[in-house]
Amino acid sequence: MSSTEPRRSIATVCLSGTLADKLTAAARAGFDGVEIFENDLIASSWSAKEISEHCAELGLSIDLYQPFRDFEAVPPDVLARNLRRAELKFDVMEQLGAGTMLVCSSVSPDAVDDDELAADQLHLLAERAAARGIRIAYEALAWGRFVNTYEHSWRIVRRAAHPALGLCLDSFHILSRGSDPAAIRTIPGEKLFFLQLADAPRLQMDVLQWSRHHRLFPGQGAFDLTAFTGNVLAAGYRGPLSLEVFNDVFRQADPAPAAVDAMRSLLALQETLGVTDVPPAPELAGHAFVELAVDDVSEPRLAEALSGLGFAETGRHRSKPVRLWQQGDARILLNRTASGQQGSASVGAVAVESADPVGSARRAQRLLAPPLPRDHRAGEADLSAIAAPDGTSVFFCRTGAETGDSWLGDFTVTEPAGPGTGVTKIDHLALAQPFDHFDEAALFYRAVLGLEPEPVTEFAAPFGLVRSRTVADPSGRVRIALQSALLRRGDWAPKVREPQCVALSTGDALASARRMRERGAPLLEIPGNYYDDLDARLAPEPALLAALREQSVLYDRDEHGELLHFFTVVLGGRVFFEVVQRIGAYAGDGAANSPVRMAAHRRQREAGA
C-alpha cells in the first residue's frame, strides 16, 4: 500500500446479520475501520466496551457512531431533551472508543427554519462533545426538512465555528439531488470530518426510498464517484473512504462475499482516482475456450450435440479426462469431472485470451479474486485461474503462444477439425447469476478483467422478470451476459437451475442452421406466432421471413444493424448453445426474443426432450 493511500471503512448497516457477523466479514475483507450503526449496537448482547475490544482484536478502528437525528433548531425544552439524549450516546461512544458522531440534519416537526439557531445549538452540542473528546460531523440529508444540501450544512457549520464541529459528506445525498460537487473544493479540508460513499442507479422515485433501498457500492450504479471523491480529496480530506450503502439485497446476503465486493469497489475507485497500487488490466483478445463440466451420462449427449453443430473432437488432455472439441476458433472442453450418472452439464470454466496472463492473474489477486489452485504436471501449461462470484473458474491464457506455454500443448491431437457448419468463434456467454450476486458479478468482471458494463436491462420472461447486464471488452471480443431472475422465479415452475448459454459466431445463420439440421443438431423449434408478429413489427423481406420461419431462426434489428440467431435445446439440464450472426454494428444480444426462447425451452422440458 502506498503511504498516501487512504484508509478504508464500511458502515455496519451495509452488511447482513448480527453485529458479530458484520465485524468479522469487514475484518476478513481487509477493511481498516467501521462505522457502527446504532441499531446494530442496540440489538447486540455485547456491551459497548466489549464491542470496542472485539474490534481491536479484529484490527478494526471505530471511525464513526451513527446516526444521531433531529437535534438542531428546536425550542428550549426540546433542546434540553436532545442534549440529555446526546450525553447518553456520548457515554456509549466513550465505551466504544468512537471519536466522531454523525448528526443528520433535522426532519423533525419540532425544528424551525433558522440557521442561526441551528448553528448556536450545534455549537452547544460540539462544546459538550469536545468535553468528552468527541467530534460532531453534521450531514445534510437529501430530504432534510430545512437543511438538505451540503452547501447549506457548510454555512451552518461555518457559522457555528467550533473546532469539534465539522461536516460529513455523503455522495448519495449530494449526487441524488444533482448538486454540483465541485464547490466541495472550497471547504477547508480540516472541516471535512467524514466521507461516506454510496453509488445508486438513476431512479425516478422518492429520494428517501431510493436512499434506503437502492444504494450500491461505488461503480455499481450511475453516479460519478471518481469526480465526487476527487473533489473531496482535493479539498484536503484525510479521513477514511467509508461505505454507507442501504440495499435490500445486501441486507439479506451472506456478509462475507458482500464485504469483499465492498472492498473491491473501493480498490476500483482508488484506481480511477490514481491512488492505488493495483496493476493495470492487460488487453483481452477473445474467448480462448469454454469448459463444460460433464458426467458419464451427459458427455455422450453433449458430444453428439457438438458433432451436430459441426464441431470435431480434435484433442485429448494428456493427463486429465478432458476432451477438446473445436470448430474454427471456437473451442469447447468437456471435462468429465466426476463419474456421476446424473446426466448434468454446466459451464465450469471460462477462458479468456490475455496479452499477459500472469499480469491478469496478479491484478485479479490484488482485487480480491480468489485464486484457484491448478493441478498440473511437469511440462503442462500453468494456467492462471480465479473464481468468479458464481463459482465459475476464469482462466487467463495465450492460445497462440509458443507450444510449451500454450494450454493447447497439453492436448494430443486426435483428429483434424472437419469442414464445420460456419462457426468461427465464441461470440459470448450468458451466465445466470445467483440473485444475491448480480451487482457483485458486474463489478467483478469490470474491475478484475477490465470489461465495460453495458446498461442494465429487464424483460418479462414467462416465469418472472429477468435482469440482464452484459460486460464486454471495448472491442467486443470478450462478452459475458450476466442474467438474474428478480425475486425467486417461480417455486412453482419446473425445478431447473438457471440455464447457461454458450453463443457461437457465424457469418451466415441461415446456412449454419440448415447444415446443423442436416447433421442432426438438436435445434429449438420457434412457434409460428413469433413470425407473424415479426412480420407485423419489423416487416423483414418476405423471402427472409420465410427462411427464418423455416429454420426457426430469430431476428432483431436496431439502429446499428441486424441480428439473426437460433438455439439448441437445453442439454444436461442447464446448458444450451446459441448461434449468432451479427450484421452491421448490431450491439445487443436479442433480449427481445428471450421470452419466446424461454417458453420454447419450457415446452422442451415438458416434452421430456
- Site residues (CB under 8 A) for its own copies? 16-18, 38-39, 41-48, 81, 84-85, 88-89, 91-92, 203-206, 209, 213, 248-249, 251-256, 435-436, 460, 462-465, 485-493, 525, 527-530, 532-533, 535-537, 539, 595-596, 598-600, 602-603
Q: What's the min distance (Å) between Cβ of 172 and its own copies?
A: 17
Between 44 and 270, CB nearer to its own copies: 44
Q: What's the min distance (Å) between Cβ of 382 and its own copies?
A: 34
Spatial contact of 8 and 266, defined as CB atoms under 8 Å apart:
yes
Burial group, residue 352, by CB count within 10 angstroms (0-12, 13-18, 19+):
buried
Q: What's the min distance (Å) between Cβ of 43 and its own copies?
A: 4
Between 297 and 435, CB nearer to its own copies: 435
C-alpha cell at 559: 439502429
Q: What's the min distance (Å) between Cβ of 437 and its own copies?
A: 11
Between 103 and 253, CB nearer to its own copies: 253
Q: Nearest to residue 545, comparing CAs of 532, 529, 559, 561?
A: 532
Between 340 and 527, CB nearer to its own copies: 527
- What's the Cα-to-Cα distance from 383 to each of 54, 319, 356, 358, 445, rounded to whole Å? 40, 15, 12, 9, 19
Q: For 77, what's the count of Cα atoms within 13 Å in the CB-facing half-sphere? A: 1
**Residue 216 forms beta bridges with which residues?**
199
Helix (H) or strand (E) holding 166: strand 165-170
- What's the Cα-to-Cα distance from 500 to each of 160, 174, 567, 583, rounded to whole Å? 59, 40, 12, 24
Q: What's the min distance (Å) between Cβ of 152 and its own copies?
A: 23
List helix spans (H) across 97-166. 115-131, 150-160
Do you know the residue count of the chain?
A: 609
Query: Other CB atoms closer than 10 Å to residue 475's CB: what's the count?
Result: 11
User: Coil, helix or strand for 37?
Assistant: strand
Between 254 and 380, CB nearer to its own copies: 254
Q: What's the min distance (Å) between Cβ of 556 and its own copies?
A: 14
Spatial contact of 429 and 502, defined as CB atoms under 8 Å apart:
yes
> At which residue does the C-alpha cell 470448430 appear?
327
Q: What's the min distance (Å) between Cβ of 40 and its own copies?
A: 8
Spatial contact of 297 and 365, defined as CB atoms under 8 Å apart:
no
User: Coil, helix or strand for 105?
Assistant: coil
Between 198 and 281, CB nearer to its own copies: 198
Between 84 and 560, CB nearer to its own copies: 84
Between 185 and 602, CB nearer to its own copies: 602
Amino acid type, 35:
E
C-alpha cell at 225: 464517484
User: What's the CA gap between 414 and 309, in Å, rounded?
Assistant: 19
Q: What's the min distance (Å) between Cβ of 27 and its own copies?
A: 17
Task: Report the phi/psi class of residue 450: left, alpha or beta, with left for phi > 0 and alpha for psi in -120 to 50.
Answer: left
DSSP characters for 537-593? HH---HHHHHHHHHHT-EEEEETTEEEEEEEBPPBTTTEEEEEEEEEET--S--GGG
Between 41 and 482, CB nearer to its own copies: 41
C-alpha cell at 421: 457448419
> At which residue does the C-alpha cell 426540546 appear?
78
Between 88 and 378, CB nearer to its own copies: 88
User: What's the CA gap between 231 and 242, in Å, rounded?
Assistant: 15
Between 447 and 570, CB nearer to its own copies: 570
User: What's the CA gap between 258 and 249, in Å, rounded?
Assistant: 10
Between 7 and 435, CB nearer to its own copies: 435
Q: What's the min distance (Å) between Cβ of 88 and its own copies?
A: 4
User: What's the CA gap between 516 and 300, in Å, rounded?
Assistant: 18
> At which residue does the C-alpha cell 468429465 appear?
336
Q: What's the min distance (Å) between Cβ of 592 and its own copies?
A: 10
Give ∠ CA 379-383-386 in degrees, rounded to 5.
155
Q: What's the min distance (Å) between Cβ of 597 and its own copies?
A: 9
Q: What's the min distance (Å) between Cβ of 479 and its own copies?
A: 26
Q: What's the min distance (Å) between Cβ of 492 and its own copies?
A: 4
Query: Other CB atoms closer than 10 Å to residue 493's CB: what's the count?
Result: 14
Between 19 and 361, CB nearer to its own copies: 19
- The DSSP symbol for 369 reads P
Between 86 and 241, CB nearer to its own copies: 86
Q: What's the min distance (Å) between Cβ of 197 and its own copies?
A: 20
Instruction: Spell 110-141 as b/e; 16+ CB within 10 A means b.
Output: ebeeebebbbbbbbbbbebbeeeebbbbbbbb
